[in-house]
Amino acid sequence: MPCIHPWISRLIYTITFLLIGYIGWASLDDPATFWAPGHLSRHHTDIAQCTQCHEPFVGPTPQKCLACHSLQQFMASSRVEVSHFHEGVIKQNQSCVICHSDHQGLVAPITVGLMENPHGEFIFRVTGARSCSDCHAVEIRDNVTNFTLLENSLVQDLIREGESAHRAGRFAHCLRCHIGGQADTEEEDDD
């Protein structure tokens, strides 16, 4: 078996020591930024500490989720089939992350398999809309979801401000004209 040259061993030990030190320092200095894979959804913006959802060295647990989302809440605010589904999951102590994920961005859906927002974060930030139903009538028939554009003040202001570039069928192409970042919306607000 070949012997490792002593200076290579010292280099490996030094690099390992520095990496462990950096991970330890960054974990204590700003753990959310260091470890979080992305921004929380708008549904969880009130969460202040990682440990509200995550058990150290384990991750999110059903008990952590149930601290905020109780069975009584599901029974009171959900459709019957949704509340019964969650009742079964809670009684079996199944992990919520089988169906739900977070850290995908402010307006990302947190339920796996939900339709993604075709507008991205941009439309929500520009209009001040809080959900799809602020601008759309949502109708679900035979497991097919249909969206109809409303004629309310949010939609009318957006159409008027875009001088006809913002009209039905064109909203999904907003990134052709807008960079979509925070700086872009602030510059537009100043004009």
DSSP letter, residue 44: G
Identify whether residues 101 and 126 lie together within a single domain: no
Identify whether residues 145 and 173 lie together within a single domain: yes
Structure tokens at 179: 């960079």
Identify whether residues 64 and 89 lie together within a single domain: yes
Identify whether residues 16 and 45 lie together within a single domain: no
Closest CA to 170 of 158, 181, 184, 183: 158
Domain boundary at 112, 136, 160, which?
A: 112
Identify whether residues 125 and 186 lie together within a single domain: yes
Identify whether residues 81 and 139 lie together within a single domain: no
Q: What is the dihedral of CA 17, 19, 22, 28, to 10 degrees?
A: -90
Tell me the pLDDT of the chain (191 aa) as tens digits: 567 788 888 999 999 999 999 888 877 777 666 677 778 888 888 888 888 998 888 888 989 999 988 888 878 877 777 777 788 888 888 888 877 888 877 777 777 655 455 665 567 667 777 667 778 776 767 756 677 888 888 888 877 776 666 666 666 566 566 654 433 444 444 44
Identify whether residues 54 and 29 lie together within a single domain: no
Identify whether residues 126 and 170 lie together within a single domain: yes
pLDDT reported for residue 7: 87
**CA distances (Å), origin 5, targets 17, 18, 172:** 19, 20, 60
pLDDT reported for residue 97: 83
Identify whether residues 72 and 128 lie together within a single domain: no
pLDDT reported for residue 17: 93
d(CA 50, CA 79): 30
Identify whether residues 47 and 24 lie together within a single domain: no
Decide: helix, strand or coil at residue 150.
Answer: coil
How many CB atoms neighbour CB 135 within 10 A?
21
Full domain range(s) for residue 72: 38-112
pLDDT reported for residue 185: 41
Identify whether residues 141 and 184 lie together within a single domain: yes
Domain boundary at 112, 142, 158, which?
A: 112
- Do the Cβ atoms of 80 and 65 come closer than 8 Å? no
Domain boundary at 49, 78, 112, which?
A: 112
Burial of 48 (0-12, 13-18, 19+ CB in 10 A): exposed
Identify whether residues 29 and 89 lie together within a single domain: no
Q: How many domains does the chain have?
A: 3
